[in-house]
Amino acid sequence: MTGDTNEIQILMSPSDVCTLLGIKESTLRKYALILQDAGYKFHVNEKGQRGYFEKDVIVLKRFLEIKQSRDMTLEQAAESVMAWIQQSNISVSVTEKKQESDRYNDDIKSLKEMITQQNELLKEFMIRLDQQQKYIEESLKKRDELLMQSLKESMETRKMIAAAKEEDEKKQKGFWSRLFGK
């Protein structure tokens, strides 16, 4: 790969890379994970799916060659590939700063939307809380009015009973006084 930044890079799907390398997709995933653990960076979209550029295919071919030609583990082969990358000055970074900032901008945008939604919910809750408070205050006021009315009626009834008792006592005294002449 040349260092030309204007070079058009084609992003290949895992099935395309598997066809080029003659391996299965599960094997490709396994090798990509091993290379990632060794420090290699593949292009990953917002859904976490890998995409492969031409340089990734070259790195994977080199990985397969080292794995087949020498008696070493996959992890050792990945380390050899990483050393080869550093010696041959192949650009490893796939994600550009702009892509990272775009991703962060998307995250910030979604967080702002979530905050806006939460603020709307809080406003609704405050309105409901105010309505509930008004209902409680009105209910208490009605209850107090009914209680006062009941107390007034009770007092009037007691006064009427007391007045009736007084009249009865006068009548009874009148009867006794008539009876005994006092």
Note whether residue 182 is domain-resident: no
pLDDT digits (tens, 9 = 90+) for 41-82: 888 888 888 888 888 888 989 888 888 876 778 888 888 888
Q: What is the CATH number of the domain that holds 64?
A: 1.10.1660.10
Note whether residue 177 is domain-resident: no
* Domain boundaries, position 68: 14-95
Helices (H) and strands (E) in the chain, counts: 5, 2
Q: Please compute the mean of the pLDDT values over residues 97-119 and round it to a whole number.
A: 78
Note whether residue 90 is domain-resident: yes
Burial of 83 (0-12, 13-18, 19+ CB in 10 A): exposed
Note whether residue 44 is domain-resident: yes
pLDDT digits (tens, 9 = 90+) for 81-97: 888 888 876 554 444 44
Q: Would the pTM of this model clear 0.85, i.e. be above it?
A: no
Q: Please compute the mean of the pLDDT values over residues 98-126 and round it to a whole number.
A: 83
* pLDDT attached to residue 49: 86
Note whether residue 179 is domain-resident: no
Note whether residue 48 is domain-resident: yes
Task: Count up the domains in the chain and report the number.
Answer: 1
Q: In this predicted model, which residue has the larger pLDDT, 135 or 69?
A: 135
By the 8 A CB rule, do 77 and 67 touch? yes
Residues near 92 by Cβ (< 8 Å), separated by ≥ 6?
A: 39, 40, 41, 85
Note whether residue 115 is domain-resident: no
